[in-house]
Amino acid sequence: MTKKKKPIYEKIAEDIKKKINEGYYVTAQKLPSEYDLADEYDISRLTVRKAINLLIDQNVLIKLSGKGTYVIKPHKQKKGSSELIGFSEAARVYGDNPSTKVISVEQLLEVPAKIAEALETNGTEEIMHVVRLRSLNEKPMTIENLYIYKKYLKDISKEALEESIFDQIEKNIEIAYSHQEVEAVLAAEETSELLEIAKNAPLLKSVAVTYSPTAKPILFDETLYRGDEYSIKTILRRSQG
């Protein structure tokens, strides 16, 4: 008995889903047009449309009238640098014991210009500024300098701020993706004391802005990582054409 061939549109849908799982397409990203996908796969637009409709039915994509088709299902790969997870979540994955010390908390209407621009705030909404020391197995690892819209944390207690910030935020709004930049810096005296390292020891400084699926800024995060404990691993893809 001859095995029935899988329809082409199903193969295309599987390939698009694979690209989402691998982080080639990320949450809230707009997919190429039907014309471009048809050209890329050398198939008809009708076949592309059937593949897209299949992924819409599977809650992987969403079509917005007049705007295009977007990824709505976060990829769930367990390893890889493109996955957006918090400190506590990552620690649990690797079997470590995370802990948090809240250094300071304040509520602001005015924030530094670069942060106001990143969060797209005009000074009318309250921003929570939280500084935290994060440790693994009682060893200081990172210092987080966070600016978060208060409406996404409500009337959170200082004790709750010792838990996962992502978990607290996601009680009020969905987290989708983050834009991040990383650079090498040297530890200032106060930083070295908190992280229990030498002054001018190498650090990795990460500056990230985290967004909702509709591209609303939620959180500005400037984090210092111990250079002797962290490294960066990523996948770079060469664009075609």
Position 229 scores a pLDDT of 81
Band (12; pLDDT cuts 50, 70, 90): very high
End-to-end CA distance of the chain: 43
Share of the chain above pLDDT 70, in %: 85
187 by Cβ neighbours in 10 Å (0-12 / 13-18 / 19+) ranks as buried
pTM: 0.64
Q: Which residues contact 200 (CB under 8 A, 6 or more apart)?
A: 186, 187, 192
How far is residue 43's CA from residue 144's CA, in Å, rounded to a whole number? 48
**Cβ atoms of 168 and 160 closer than 8 Å:** yes
Q: How far is CA 106 from CA 111, 129, 144, 150, 239, in A?
A: 11, 5, 14, 10, 44
Q: How many CB atoms lie within 10 A of CB 226?
A: 20
- Highest mean pLDDT pick, 60-74, 169-183, 187-201: 187-201
Query: How many Å separate Cα 81 from the centre of its chain?
Result: 10
> Average model confidence (pLDDT) for the chain?
84
- The pLDDT > 90 percentage for the chain reads 49
Q: What is the pLDDT of residues 117-165, one digit of tens each?
A: 999 998 889 999 999 999 988 889 999 999 999 999 988 888 889 888 8
Q: How far apart are CA 178 and CA 84, in angstroms?
A: 7
Q: How far apart are CA 215 and CA 221, in angstroms?
A: 16
Better pLDDT: 2 or 126: 126
Maximum distance among all Cα pairs of the chain, rounded to whole angstroms: 75
Alpha helices, H only, 151-236? 165-169, 189-195
* Per-residue pLDDT reduced to its tens digit, 30-78: 899 999 999 999 999 999 999 999 998 887 888 877 778 888 744 333 3
pLDDT of 88 reads 59
Name the 3-class secondary structure at 64.
strand
Nearest CA-CA partner of 48 in 64, 28, 69: 69
pLDDT at 154: 87
pLDDT at 143 (0 to 100): 96
Q: Reply yes or no on whether the pLDDT at 241 is more than 60.
A: no
Determine whether 28 is exposed, middle or buried from the number of CB atoms within 10 Å of its CB (0-12, 13-18, 19+). Answer: middle
Q: Quote the CA–CA distance of 127 and 129 in Å, as a whole number.
A: 6
All domains of the chain in start order, with CATH:
8-71 (1.10.10.10), 87-226 (3.40.1410.10)
